[in-house]
């Protein structure tokens, strides 16, 4: 599944039409799907559909027809001058005897439900004049609103705020990224019959889906032993961040690693989990790490200024490595890539900003672009730019266009200390289990967020997210996970 910009979705529409798929069929499917979602989510109120001049308005006119045919009380207010498919949708509705009123005549009616079919992906620039005051009037009414495709006005200000948004054919950036995402409310994605070749475009970011991620889960044969399913070495810890490597080790073990070893400065207060092997080090010379039994390393968590020394010591093991936190320095990552080691880097916006020479705020405002820049700067490394949502990027070879992926799990309750350390442990466990960096990164990010969603409450702690991983993996493996865009998420899995 791909993530679209408005432009990319319009291109997909054009490809469908180019393939011979009639656009009126798409509009009919879109409008009917909107009607179905509205009818199910709002069984009783009077429905007021507000339609613009373009195809978004056309979808609203189709939805109004079906809702009326299903016996719902429907009023329609529309801009004048629909043409093409939207014009046909208008005459089809009028053929059923419904009188369409001008948009200017709309006034808020308490108890009604609004369907916002004013603007979708065709909006160019901010709303002004009549449209801006209509948006203000609708918002001031406080009436519940269902948006067709996008809340009108997005991604600019002003825009409508929807309780529910019915995304047509594919999810758009506004449905995933803040602040626009807040205006969408609950998002339900509906297919509209678009031919698959029209939808797929490798240049668009991949959206991590339950099906896609389930396929990446490593199989655990019945005769597995602790040495055969992946052993992880965690290298970190220092005076004040003694919990960080412990959380990473816990998460690696909870992700199925057969053995976890924690290497930390001797004399520090690091307390590895009971099940872990301890490796207290006298210094970061690297000698102390030799002989550690592992198939992958996680380095950098809680090392403070010793991060570079720790990462250089770990580099000598020649293993697939996850580089995090204090080890995230340009010279470290370059050294790993020069050594041709499979590498995953997991910066948060502050660390990414440091690597790119930008501010954390700039990175957080442009996560897709920033992840792509990091991938180009560090070709061969799987880049995990953490955030809500986390974005991943990989340029397989120098100067290659990065492939991008966007996570679809996780929630704001995960904004608390130690969550990143847990993510590092998960990804390291999958590296140790033999997954390629790109697969380990995507699966790890997805499961981390899924475990957080299964808890879903503010105040949850990082170690609880680690403890929840077996349940998250089990549900994913059994096909019991649905994307946030599903019409009816399973009751016991919704946050
Ligand atoms: N084949 C297709 O193209 C399909 C399109 N679909 C729907 O069509 C929508 C896109 O339709 P359109 O491309 O017609 O675009 P919209 O309906 O989103 O908006 C286009 C209209 O808005 C006006 N407009 C643009 N910017 C404005 C601004 N800043 N201020 C005031 N007016 C402005 C344009 O002049 C035009 O009349 C999608 O969001 C979706 O709802 C669906 O029907 C499915 C198929
Ligand atoms: N609002 C949010 N939505 C989704 N995930 C979030 C959100 N806030 C934080 N997270 C996740 O929590 C983790 C935080 O990582 P990080 O900042 O490195 O924490 P720490 O350094 O305390 O371990 C990341 O994986 C991030 O994606
Ligand atoms: K809309």
- Pairing mode of beta strands 113-117, 47-51: parallel
Report the run of H or E that residue 406 belongs to, with start and end: strand 403-406
Residues 200 and 216 in one domain: no
At which of 176, 204, 232 does a domain end? 204
Distances (CA, A) of 119 to 56, 122, 191: 6, 7, 19
Q: Examine residue 258 and state whether it is found in any structural domain, yes or no.
A: yes
Which CATH number is 217's domain given?
Answer: 3.40.1190.20
Q: Examine residue 490 and state whether it is found in any structural domain, yes or no.
A: no
Mean pLDDT rounded to a whole number for the chain: 96
What is the distance in A from the centroid of ligand 1 to the CA of 154?
Answer: 12
Around 450, how many Cα atoms within 13 Å sit in the side-chain half-sphere? 28
What is the distance in A from the centroid of ligand 3 to the CA of 153?
Answer: 8
Q: Examine residue 218 and state whether it is found in any structural domain, yes or no.
A: yes
Tens of pLDDT, residues 107-157? 999 999 999 999 999 999 999 999 999 999 999 999 999 999 999 999 999
At which of 163, 179, 204 does a domain end? 204
Instruction: Output the DSSP codes for 453-477.
Output: HHH--TT--HHHHHHTHHHHHHHHH
Residues 195 and 249 in one domain: no
pLDDT tier at 239, thresholds 50, 70, 90: low
Residues 248 and 374 in one domain: yes
Nearest CA to 40 out of 148, 153, 160, 188 is that of 188
What is the distance in A from the centroid of ligand 1 to the CA of 10?
Answer: 9
Q: Is 126 annotated as a binding residue?
A: yes
Task: Indicate whether residue 82 lines ligand 1 (CB < 6 A).
Answer: no
Question: How many percent of the chain have pLDDT more than 90?
Answer: 94
Residues 262 and 304 in one domain: yes
Residues 195 and 295 in one domain: no
What is the distance in A from the centroid of ligand 1 to the CA of 86?
Answer: 10
Would you say residue 297 has pLDDT above 50?
yes
* DSSP-derived 3-state class of residue 105: helix
**CA–CA distance, 382 with 260 (Å, rounded to integer):** 23
Nearest CA to 65 out of 40, 44, 86, 45 is that of 86
**CA–CA distance, 80 with 53 (Å, rounded to integer):** 7
Q: Is 390 annotated as a binding residue?
A: yes
Phi/psi of residue 324, nearest 5 degrees? -130, 170
Q: Examine residue 242 and state whether it is found in any structural domain, yes or no.
A: yes
Tens of pLDDT, residues 165-188? 999 999 999 999 999 999 999 999
Q: Examine residue 495 and state whether it is found in any structural domain, yes or no.
A: no
Which CATH number is 135's domain given?
Answer: 3.40.50.10260
Q: Examine residue 487 and state whether it is found in any structural domain, yes or no.
A: no
User: pLDDT value at position 494?
Assistant: 43
249 phi-psi bin (left φ>0, alpha ψ -120 to 50, beta other): alpha
The number of folded domains in the chain is 2
Phi/psi of residue 283, nearest 5 degrees? -155, 180
**CA–CA distance, 242 with 253 (Å, rounded to integer):** 18
At which of 204, 239, 265 does a domain end? 204
Q: Examine residue 364 and state whether it is found in any structural domain, yes or no.
A: yes
**CA–CA distance, 473 with 33 (Å, rounded to integer):** 32
Residues 291 and 339 in one domain: yes
Which domain does 375 fall in, by range? 210-477
**CA–CA distance, 467 with 465 (Å, rounded to integer):** 5
What is the distance in A from the centroid of ligand 2 to the CA of 415?
Answer: 5
Residues 193 and 298 in one domain: no
Residues 164 and 214 in one domain: no
Residues 182 and 287 in one domain: no
Q: Counting ligands in written order, which one lies closest to the CA of residue 243?
A: 2
Q: Is 209 annotated as a binding residue?
A: no
Tens of pLDDT, residues 319-355? 999 999 999 999 999 999 999 999 999 999 999 999 9
Give how far the C-alpha of residue 147 lies from the chain's centroid of Cα atoms, to the nearest Å. 21
Residues 327 and 185 in one domain: no
Question: How many percent of the chain have pLDDT more than 70?
Answer: 98
Task: Indicate whether residue 415 lines ligand 2 (CB < 6 A).
Answer: yes
User: pLDDT value at position 489?
Assistant: 55
Task: Indicate whether residue 420 lines ligand 2 (CB < 6 A).
Answer: yes
Residues 128 and 251 in one domain: no
Distances (CA, A) of 234 to 258, 323, 421: 13, 10, 10
Q: Examine residue 22 and state whether it is found in any structural domain, yes or no.
A: yes
Residue with tokens 């690091």: 270
Nearest CA to 170 out of 359, 384, 408, 375 is that of 408
Tens of pLDDT, residues 298-324? 999 999 889 999 999 999 999 999 999
Nearest CA to 255 out of 454, 447, 416 is that of 447
Residues 196 and 244 in one domain: no
The residue contributing the CA closest to ligand 2 atom 15 is 420
Question: Which protein residues have a CB closer than 5 Å to ligand 3 (ion)?
Answer: 116, 147-148, 152
Q: Counting ligands in written order, which one lies closest to the CA of residue 15?
A: 1
User: pLDDT value at position 491?
Assistant: 46
Structure tokens at 227: 């040495």
359 secondary structure, DSSP code: -
């Amino acid at each position: 599944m791909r993530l679209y910009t408005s432009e990319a979705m319009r291109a997909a529409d054009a490809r469908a039409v180019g393939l011979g798929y009639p656009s009126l069929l798409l509009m009919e499917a879109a409008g009917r799907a909107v009607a179905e979602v509205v009818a199910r989510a709002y069984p009783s109120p009077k429905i007021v559909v507000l339609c613009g001049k373009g195809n978004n308005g056309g979808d609203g006119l189709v939805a109004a027809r079906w809702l009326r045919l299903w016996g719902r009380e429907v009023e329609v207010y529309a801009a004048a001058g629909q043409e093409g498919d939207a014009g046909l949708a208008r005459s089809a509705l009028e053929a059923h005897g419904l009188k369409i009123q001008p948009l200017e005549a709309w006034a808020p009616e308490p108890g009604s439900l609004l369907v916002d079919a004013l603007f979708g992906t065709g909006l160019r620039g901010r709303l002004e004049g009549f449209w801006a005051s209509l948006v203000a009037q609708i918002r001031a009414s406080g009436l519940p609103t269902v948006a067709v495709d996008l809340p009108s006005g997005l991604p600019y200000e002003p825009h409508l705020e929807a309780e529910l948004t019915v995304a047509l054919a594919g999810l758009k950036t506004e449905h995933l990224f803040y602040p626009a995402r807040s205006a969408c409310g609950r998002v339900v994605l509906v297919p509209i019959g678009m031919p698959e070749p029209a939808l797929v475009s490798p240049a668009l970011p991949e959206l991590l889906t339950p099906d896609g991620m389930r396929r990446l889960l490593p199989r655990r044969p019945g005769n597995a032993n602790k040495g055969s399913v992946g052993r992880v070495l965690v290298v970190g810890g220092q005076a004040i961040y003694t919990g960080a490597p412990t959380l990473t080790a816990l998460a690696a073990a909870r992700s199925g690693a057969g053995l976890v070893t924690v290497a930390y400065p001797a004399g520090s207060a690091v307390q590895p989990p009971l099940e872990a092997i301890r490796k207290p080090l006298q210094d970061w010379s690297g000698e102390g790490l030799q002989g550690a039994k592992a198939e992958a390393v996680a380095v950098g968590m809680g090392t403070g200024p010793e991060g570079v020394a720790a990462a250089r010591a770990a580099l000598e093991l020649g293993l697939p490595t996850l580089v995090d936190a204090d080890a995230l320095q340009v010279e470290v990552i370059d050294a790993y890539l020069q050594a041709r080691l499979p590498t995953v880097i997991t910066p948060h916006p502050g660390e990414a900003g440091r690597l790119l020479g930008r501010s954390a705020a700039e990175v957080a405002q442009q996560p897709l672009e920033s992840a792509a820049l990091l991938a180009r700067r560090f070709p061969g490394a799987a880049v995990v730019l953490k955030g809500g949502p986390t974005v991943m990027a990989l340029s397989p070879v120098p100067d290659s266009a990065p492939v991008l992926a966007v996570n679809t799990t996780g929630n704001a309750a995960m904004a608390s200390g130690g969550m990143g350390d847990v993510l590092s442990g998960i990804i390291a466990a999958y590296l140790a289990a033999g997954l390629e960096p790109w697969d380990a990164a995507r699966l790890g990010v997805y499961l981390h967020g899924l475990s957080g969603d299964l808890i879903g409450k503010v105040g949850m702690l990082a170690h609880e997210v680690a403890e929840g991983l077996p349940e998250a993996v089990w549900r994913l493996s059994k096909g019991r996970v649905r994307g946030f865009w599903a019409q009816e998420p399973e009751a016991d899995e919704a946050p």
